Structure 1
Amino acid sequence: MAPQPGERRLLPLLSGARARVTCRYRCGDQCAEHPPNPSANPYFGDVLQKVLDRRGLLRAGAVVAASAAVLPALGSRPAAAAGRPPGLDFTPVQPNSLDAVVVPEGFQQQVVIRWGDPILPGAPEFDFDNQTPEAQERQFGYNNDFCALLPLDGNRRLMVNNHEYTSEEFLFRGYDPDNPTEQQVRVAWAAHGLSVVVLETGDGAPKVVLDRLNRRITLNTPFELRGPAAGSDLLKTSADPTGTRSFGTMNNCSGGVTPWGTILSGEENIHFYFAHADQVTDPVTQQRLARYGIKGGATERKWERFDSRWDLTQQVNEPNRFGWIIEVDPYDPESTPVKHTALGRFKHEGANIRVADDGRVVAYLGDDEKFEYVYRFVSDGRMKPGRSAHARRHNMSLLDSGTLYVAKFTGDSPGEIDGTGTLPADGEFDGVGEWIPLAHNDTSFVPGMTAEEVYVFTRLAADQVGATKMDRPEDVQPHPKTGRVYCALTNNSDRGAPGKAGADEANPRNSNKHGQVLELDDDPAGTRFAWRLLLVCGDPKDPATYFGGFDKSQVSPISCPDNVAFDRHGNLWITTDSSGALGANDGLYAVPLEGPERGHVMQFLSVPRGAEACGPVIEDGLVMVSAQHPGEVDGASADNPVSHWPDGGDSQPRPSVVAVWR
C-alpha cells in the first residue's frame, strides 16, 4: 500500500539522470570524464568476419545449438491471457516522483534499519548534529547498497549490508568541502564498509537485535590479502611491508551470497580517494594510475590531509590494495575479512557464484565503468557442501586458486547494427562469445605482463587480449535453476561519440542513456558461450527498446538496470540507478524469463526522490530493498534538505533498508 497521508510529498519530476552531487561523492564524476580505457580493441563488425568463417561457424554452431534447448524462443508475443506468472501477482506501481517508498496495493512496508541506528551493544542513539567516529563505528553505516539475508536459528536471520560511500554535504550541516574537519573525516571512515546485523523475523517487518554476531567493518578494519598477488611488491606499503594485510574497504557496491554462507562484496569506485597522481613521475606507474582513473590534485574529501595513505606521493601502492572482491564470514565476528587477488583488480560491482557439475566454483564479475569488461573466474578446487565452520574455511580458499578470464562477444548480424537500436532481421540481438584466459595462479597468459601484474592491473591485461568494451557492466548473476547468467549493463552516453567505440550487437545504441540486460548461456567447463539481450531498456514508446519480444504496450518503463536477483519461481528482479532519465524515481522491477510473459517488465516499488534502489532480497512473503542516498538532489544538502524520508517532519533524509510484505 502507499504511504499514509503526511508521509508522502509530491515533488517536481527529475529533469535528467543521476544528480551531479551523487556523481561527485560516489565516483568522482567519472561519467563526465573521458573513460580511462584508451585501448583500440576490435569490435563486433571487425571480429565477425574473422571469427565466423566456415570452420568458426561450425564451432559456434555447437554452442548456439546447445543453447537453443535452454534459451526460450523469442519473437513478438502477446500478454498472457490467464493471470500473472507465479510470484508476480501484483498490480505494477506507476512511475512517480514522491518522497516515499511506493508499493503495490495490498502490500505493507516498514523501515528495518536507518543510517545511524545502533547495532552494537553500548552504541548511542543517532544524533545527527553530534556525530562521532566512535559512535558511527557502532551504528549502521551510510548509503547502504547490497543487502543479504542468511539463515541463523529459529526466527533469527543474519542481514549483511554494504555501505558504499559517504555524501558529506548530507552528513553534516555547514560542511565546507574545501576544509573538512578531522572529526568529519573520521566519521566518514567509520561510515564506509559493511554491517552485519541479527534480525528477528516473523509476521511483518524484521526487527533488529543487538547480538554478539553484529559487526561493523570500516576503513579501519584489518583485511587479509590472499591469492597469487598476495605478498607482491606492488601491494607493499610502509604500514604493511609484507603486502599481505590491508586496512579497510570502501566503495562497496553490490555483492553475493556464496553457497557456503559467506558474503562477497565488490570494491568499486576507488580511484578518486587518492591524491596527487600528477606528482608521480615514474611513467609506468603513471600509465597504471591513469588506466584506473586516478588523477592529480587534491581529492574531493581531502582525506590525504589526515592520513598519508591517501597521498600517492607518500604511498604510491596504496590504491593497489583496493579494487578487489572481499569475502566476509558473517557467522564469525572474530574472523578477518579477505581480499581475493585471484579475482582481479578493477572497479568491481560484485561477484556471484555458480557451482559447476564437477564441484568447481565459477564467479562472474563486472567492471562498472564505460567501455569496461565482463569477467569470469573458475576455481581449481572443488566445493565442500554445507555451511559448517569447517566447510566455510575450506570453501573460502577456492577463490584463491584458479583461472581468470575476460569476455569477448561476437554478434551474428554483421552490417545491421547502426547505433539506433533497430532490431536485426533475425528479430533479436544475439551471438556467441569466448572467455579469454588472463592468468592461472603464477602463470600469465598476457604477453609482456607477469601474473602479479595481471591480477593487480587486470584492466591493462584485458585491453591487451582484445576483450569487448561494454556499456558499464554492473551486477552479473547466474540463475539458481537454469544456470543462465544475467548481466545488467547500466548505460553509456559515450557510446559512438567521436573517438569512442561505436555500437555493436551487445551494445546496440549510441549515446546509450538507458542500458540493457544481457543473458548468457555459459558452460563452466568450456570457454564458449551463447548470448542475447533480454531487455533494451528505456521508454517502451521508444522504438529503440526491446522487452524480450513481449508487447511493449504492456510493460513498465525501466532505465539504467543495476542490481539483479531471482525469486524461487525463476523470475528476474532488477533495481535501477538513475531512472531520472525517464523523469521518475528509481525502483524495483520484476520480469518473467520463461513462457508467454517473458520480457513483461512490471514495476514493484519505487524509492524516494533522489534515492537509488539497491541490493534487493526477494523471498516468499518478503522483499527487502536498500533506499540509498534519499534526497540527494542537486542544490540540496543537510542545510537545505528536499527529502524528509524516512522519518518525516523536518528530519534529515537517512539511507535505509525497507521491508515489504503482503
Structure 2
Amino acid sequence: MPDRLLPLFPAHPGGRSPITCEYRCGNACAHPEPNESGNEYFGDVVKDISRRRVFKAGAVMAAAAGGFAALSGTAAAAPAGHGHDPKPRPVPGTAFDAVPPNKLDQVSVPDGYAQRVVVRWGDPVVQGAPRFHFTKQTAAAQAKQFGYNNDFVGLIPQDPLGFSNLLVVNHEYTTEVHLFPADQYDPANPTEEQVKIAWAAHGLSVLQARRDPVHGGLEVVPSRFGRRITLDTVFEVRGPAAGSKYLKTSADPTGRKVRGTQNNCSGGVTPWGTVLSGEENFHQYFANADKVTDPVAAARLKRYAVGTGASTRKWERFDKRWDVAQEPQEPNRFGWVVEIDPNDPNSTPVKHTALGRFKHEAANVKITADGRVAVYSGDDERFEYIYKFVSKGKYKPGKSAHARRHNSALLDEGTLYVGRFTGDSPAAEIDGTGKLPSDNEFDGTGEWIPLAAGNKSFVDGFTAEEVYVFTRQAADKVAATKMDRPEDIEPNPVNGRIYAALTNNSDRGAAGKAGVDEANPRVANKNGHILEWEEHRGDAASTKFSWRLLLVCGDPATADTYFGGFDKTKVSPISCPDNVAFDRHGNLWISTDGNALGANDGLFSVPVTGPERGHVKQFLSVPVGAETCGPVVTDHLVLVAVQHPGENAASSATPTSHWPDGGTAQPRPSIVSVWKKGRFGLPGRIGER
C-alpha cells in the first residue's frame, strides 16, 4: 500500500466539510443527540449476567442456525496475519489492482478500466427540458432536469441481458451556496424563485439508460419513462397511520396526501421492480419548533431534532408548511419509506407508514422462508436503532402491473421490529480501544423486539398509531441497542446474511453518553464498522439472530482496526462506510462518506467468505469534496453517484472542484459508469482477469 494521507483539520466528525454538515443534516453532529432516553443498554445489562448463560444462549443460536462457521465454510477468523495463504488468488469479482488513496479532482479507477458520466445535475430528464445554465436557472426548468446531490442509484433491467434499463436516482438535498452563483444568492434572504428551484431539485429522477455492449458504459436515452418527482409531487399515505390525527394539516385535513419527498438518502430495488427510498434528515427543513408550547408535542419534535428558530434555507417564508408554529403536524409527514413505480410514469408514489417513521437511510427487501416480505432499515443518527418489518401477506413473484400492486400492498400490513444486540464476551474485554476480545471476534446474538402489528401496539403506553408516527420513542421504551449511525442495510443474495454500514459516532463513550458494547466496541468511533448477521435458520421472519463485525474500519496500521481476520498489511484503508451493495459472487461493495483518514472518499470491494474474507480493496475514488453514493455492481458495469463534489468550498465563488466538466466549470453532482476494457476493444467483466 502507498503512504497513507493523514487528516489535517478534523474540525468536523469524519472528513466532512462544514458546508456539507450544515446543508445535508443541519449540522447534526455539532448538536446534542436527540436520543436522550434512559434506555438501559442491553449490552450493559448483560454485564450482570454470568458469561456461562450468555455462551449457552449463543451456543443454542449457533446450533439452530448452523453457526457462522458452518455457513461460511471457514473456521472462526484468526488474528490478523495468521491462518491465511500469504498469496491468495483474487476472489472472482475482485481481481483488480487497488486504487491508492488520493486527493485528486477526478474519479480514479483501476488500470484497465474506463469511465463515463451518465447524467449530471441539470441534464434533461423529461421532454421539453431546457439546456442547463448555471447562472440562469428557473424552477420550471429544474422540475424537468436531473436534480441535485444524487445519492441512491437503482438499475432495473428491462431485458434479460440488461441492455435497456430504468435508472432511478435520489436527490438527497440542496446546498444553496453552491446551487446558485455567489453574487445571486444571499443565504439570509433567498428569493421565492430560488426556494422553488431548490424544491424542484429535491426528490427523484427516473430515466431510461442503455448499456453499450460494444464501447462500454451506460448512456441515457429519450424515453416515455422519464420522470421527475419533487417537493410538489403528491404522495399517497398508506398503511396503519394513514389518516392519523398526527398527519393532518390545514392543507390536508385527511392525513392521506403529502406534497413531496425530501432528503431521500439511500434506498433499494424491490423484487417486484419498484424502488424504496428513505427520507432521512427531514428535520432541518423546518423552523420554529421551539414555539410549540404543548409539552408532549414539543418533546416529540425534539426527539426528531426538528429545527428551532429560522431554518438554514428560509423556506418557511414562502410556504407555512415549513413553519412548525403554524403547521405542527407537517414534520410528521416526512421520515417515511416511500415507494416509486418507475415502470408507470403516471403512478402515484406512496409513503408506507407500517415501516415506521425515523431518519431512514434506506430500505431493502428479503423474502422470508414462507414467502413473506422482510424490509430492513437503519435510523441514521448517533445512538439510533436498526429496524425490520415483516409483512402479513405473501409475496407474488413477477413484475407485472398486477404483481407490483399486490406486493406493494404487502408493505401496508405486518409487524415492525427493532433490534437488540448482545455480545458474548466479558464486559472487561470490551474496553473501548477496539482490541479484540479473547475469542478473536466481536460477536454475539440478538433479537427482534416487536413494536406494533396492524392496529396492535406491543409497547406499553403507546397506541399503534403512536408507534408508527413516533417510532423512535417506542424503540427507546423497549431498550433497543443504540448503534453508531446505522446507514445502509442489505441482504447478501449469495450467502443470505444481512450487512449493515455503521458510519461513525464521535460521541460513543463520551461523558454522559452511552458507552461501548460488543456491537459498537470503540470510543469516539470516527471510522465506523460493518455489521453482519445471520437470521435464525436463515429465515428473515425469525426474531432471533447471530451477529459479528466483519470490519472495524480505519487505518490498518493502527491497533483499533479489524479486517475480518485478514492480514492488515495487505488491505486498503477504509473509513466511514455508508452504502453497501453486492456483486453476483456475493462480494460486499462499500461506498464511503466523510473519510476521516484524509483522502477522498471511494468504493471498496471485500469478500465475505473464504481465505480472503476481509480483504478490502479500493476500486475507485471520487473527486475533491465529494462523497461516494449509490453503488451498483453488475457483471459489466459499476455505477456510483458522485455527490457534492467541491462542497468543501465556502460557496460557488471559490470552487475547489471543477468535476466533471473541467476547466473553470462549476462542479456538478453526477452519476458515473465504470467498465473493464476487455479484448478487441469490447468491455470485459468487472473484477475478472
TM interval, shorter chain, is: over 0.9
Q: Counterpart of 1:428?
A: 441
Alignment partners' CA distance in 2, 1:238 and 1:318: 10
CA RMSD of aligned residues (A): 1.5
Shift of 1:239: 1.1
Match of 2:78 in 1: 75
TM normalised by structure 1 equals 0.96
| Cα deviation code 1:460-499 (max 9, x no counterpart) | 0000000000000000111112210000000000001110
SS in structure 2 at match of 1:223: strand
- Asked if 1 retains the 8 angstrom alpha-carbon contact of 2:42 and 2:420, the reply is no
Of residues 469, 473, 477, the one that matches 1:464 is 477
Q: What amino acid maps onto 1:257 in structure 2?
A: V
State the 1:64 CA deviation. 2.2
Counterpart of 2:681 in structure 1 is none
Are 2:110 and 1:116 equivalent residues in the alignment? Answer: no
> Does the residue aligned with 1:47 lie in a helix, a strand or coil?
helix
In structure 2, what is the Cα distance between the partners aligned to 1:270 and 1:131?
A: 25
Contact 1:351 1:363 in 2 (8 A): yes
Query: Could you tell me which of 619, 623, 629 is aligned with 1:614?
Result: 629
Separation in 2, partners of 1:488, 1:332: 32
Within the candidate set 186, 195, 214, 1:185 is matched to 195
Aligned partner of 2:479: which letter?
G
Matches within 5 A, 1:400-411: 400-411=412-423
Aligned residue type for 1:569: H
Letter in 1 for 2:561: T
Tell me what 1:276 maps to: 288
1:498 maps to which residue? 511
TM-score norm. by structure 2 comes to: 0.93
CA deviations over 1:216-272 (Å, ceiling 9, x no partner): 000000000000000100000111111111110000000001010100000000011
Per-residue deviation, 1:638: 1.1
Which residue does 2:682 correspond to in 1?
A: none
Separation of aligned partners in 2, 1:101 and 1:459: 38
- 1:194 equivalent to 2:204? Answer yes
For the pair 1:586 / 2:586, whether they are aligned, the reply is no
**Correspondence 1:549-564 to 2 at 5 A:** 549-564=565-580
| Structure-to-structure mapping, 1:340-419, within 5 angstroms | 340-414=352-426, 415-419=428-432
Contact 1:44-1:505 at 8 Å conserved across structures: no
Q: Which amino acid aligns with 1:165?
A: Y
The whole-number CA distance in structure 1 between the counterparts of 2:151 and 2:592 is 12
Match of 1:95 among 83, 94, 101: 101
- Deviation at residue 80 of structure 1 after TM alignment: 5.4
Tell me, in whole angstroms, the C-alpha distance in 2 between the residues paired with 1:176 and 1:606. 33
SS at match of 1:21: helix
Q: 1:3-152, aligned counterparts within 5 Å? A: 15-16=9-10, 17-49=15-47, 58-65=56-63, 66=65, 67-68=67-68, 69-71=70-72, 72=74, 73-76=76-79, 77-78=83-84, 81-152=87-158
**Is residue 2:642 matched to residue 1:627?**
yes
Question: What pairs with 1:453-532 in structure 2 (closer than 5 Å)?
Answer: 453-523=466-536, 524-532=540-548
CA distance in 2, matches of 1:55, 1:79: 36
Say which SS state the counterpart of residue 402 (structure 2) adopts: helix
Determine the C-alpha separation between the residues in 1 that align with 2:156 and 2:541: 29
Task: Percent identity, please.
Answer: 64
In 2, are the aligned partners of 1:444 and 1:450 still within 8 Å (CA)?
A: yes
Q: 1:603 to 1:541 in 2, by over 3 A?
A: same
Partner amino acid, structure 1, of 2:669: P
Residue 82 to residue 506, structure 1, CA distance change in 2 (3 Å): closer
By how many angstroms is 1:567 displaced?
A: 0.2
Whole-Å Cα distance in 1 between the matches of residues 365 and 665 of structure 2?
Answer: 40
Match of residue 6 from structure 1: none
Tell me how far apart the structure 2 counterparts of residues 50 and 525 of structure 1 sit (CA, whole Å). 30
Once residues 553 and 501 of structure 2 are traced to their aligned partners in structure 1, the CA distance between those partners, rounded to angstroms, is 10
Where does the alignment leave 5 or more consecutive residues of structure 2 unmatched?
677-689
Q: Which residue of 2 aligns with 1:291?
A: 303
- Residues 532 and 428 of structure 1: CA distance in aligned 2, closer, same or farther (over 3 Å): same
CA contact (8 A) 1:80 1:597 kept: no
Find the residue that maps to 2:362 and give its secondary structure. Answer: strand
- Say whether 1:316 aligns with 2:328: yes
The Cα shift of 1:374 comes to 0.4
Distance 1:55 1:501 in 2: 24
Q: Partners in 1 of 2:542 and 2:45 — Cα distance? A: 20
The number of residue pairs the alignment matches comes to: 650
For 2:657, what is the secondary structure of its paired residue? coil
Over 3 Å counting, the alpha-carbon distance change for 1:231 and 1:50 in structure 2 is farther
| Counterpart for residue 555 of structure 2 | 539
CA distance in 1: counterparts of 2:49 and 2:131, whole angstroms: 62
Partner SS for 1:118? coil
**Separation (CA, whole Å) in 2 of partners of 1:51 and 1:199:** 56
How many angstroms does 1:49 deviate by?
4.4
Tell me, yes or no, if the aligned pair for 2:487 and 2:502 is still in contact at 8 Å: yes
Structure 2 Cα separation of the partners of residues 50 and 453 of structure 1? 33
How far the C-alpha of 1:651 sits from its partner, in A, is 0.3
Q: Secondary structure at the match of 1:357?
A: coil
Q: Is the 8 A contact 1:51 1:57 kept in 2?
A: no
Is the aligned partner of 1:170 residue 2:178? yes
Moved more, 67-76 or 15-24: 67-76
Matching of residue 650 in structure 1 with residue 664 in structure 2: yes
Q: Give the SS at the match of 2:619.
A: strand
Letter of the 2:337 partner, please give it. I
- 1:201: Cα distance to partner? 1.4
**Paired AA for residue 163 in structure 2:** N
Please give the alpha-carbon distance, in whole angstroms, between the structure 1 residues aligned to 2:495 and 2:657.
41
Partner deviation per Cα, 1:74-106 (whole Å, 9 max, x = no partner): 113435524210011100000000000000000
SS in 2 for 1:194: strand
CA distance in 1, matches of 2:506, 2:398: 44
Q: 1:15: how far off?
A: 3.4
Residue 340 of structure 1 and its aligned partner are, at CA, apart by 0.4
User: Which of 559, 564, 571 does residue 548 from structure 1 map onto?
Assistant: 564
